[in-house]
Amino acid sequence: AQSVTQLDSQVPVFEEAPVELRCNYSSSVSVYLFWYVQYPNQGLQLLLKYLSGSTLVKGINGFEAEFNKSQTSFHLRKPSVHISDTAEYFCALSGNTPLVFGKGTRLSVIA
Amino acid sequence: DGGITQSPKYLFRKEGQNVTLSCEQNLNHDAMYWYRQDPGQGLRLIYYSQIVNDFQKGDIAEGYSVSREKKESFPLTVTSAQKNPTAFYLCASSIPKGPMNTEAFFGQGTRLTVV
């Protein structure tokens, strides 16, 4: 079975500080990995994806993530957050099945 | 503009009533999905369809039904058998990449409340 674990349910951070949202996964087969962002009462928007190739993936809004196969991790990072980054973030994987999601991390940016 | 349209955005239902949530896409995607979102639970898969006239149960299919008569449409019916239907429902679509599923594109969601 495949699963995704987001290690922090809530992450508060001051504006302009760096942030890391942690994601670990479990799968017996090769997977694709994704990070999505959700603003209140809206659908999910893709931030970035890892399909193959370079393990450092850059996405929209200044976010990046690093795929680490040995540690089965796909942590999301941003060097300097803004108030507008306040949202819920979901890590997800897909193999030969539909996307499996973690439970989400609520990022709160404090002015 | 291409995308996924869910309607209505808000829906209220009396206990014991069936209700149908609409999902339409013009992205020409083969695969479509329904997820349920509850606070702190992430997204859980209800049903998915990889091709017209075929669909499979997800992790929490009990009390729900779907149809896929057209490529563009994947409506979800929440039946009276669903014991706790109040939730945020998200429809998505994707293009399979060989045996793998690539990223899913999401609609804006329907918030269903049982009153």
The pLDDT of residue B101 is above 80: no
pLDDT in tens, B2-34: 799 999 999 999 988 999 999 999 999 999 999
**Which of A43, A100, A101 is the closest to B108 by Cβ?**
A43
Confidence at residue B113, expressed as pLDDT on a 0 to 100 scale = 95
Q: How far is B23 from chain A (nearest CA, A)?
A: 13
Whole-number percent of chain A with pLDDT over 90: 84
**Rounded Cα gap, residues A46 and B84, in angstroms:** 29
Distance from CA of B40 to the nearest CA of A (A): 6
Q: Virtual CA dihedral for A45, B93, A97, A65, nearest 10 degrees?
A: -20
CB atoms A101 and B42 under 8 Å: yes
Query: Looking at residue B1, what is its pLDDT?
Result: 64
Q: Tens of pLDDT along A11-58?
A: 999 999 999 999 999 998 888 999 999 998 899 999 999 998 889 999
Q: Is B63's Cβ below 8 Å from some Cβ in A?
A: no
pLDDT in tens, B28-87: 999 999 999 998 889 999 999 999 999 999 999 999 999 999 999 999 999 988 889 999
Q: Are A57 and A78 in contact (CB under 8 A)?
A: no
Residue B109 pLDDT: 96
Contact A43 B107 (CB under 8 A): yes
Residue of A89, A102, A101, A103 lying closest to A11 (CA atoms): A89
> Whose CA is closest to A23, among A36, A39, A41?
A36
Tell me the helices (H) and strands (E) count for chain A, helix number first.
Answer: 0, 12
Of residues A43, A100, A102, nearest to B106 (C-beta)? A43
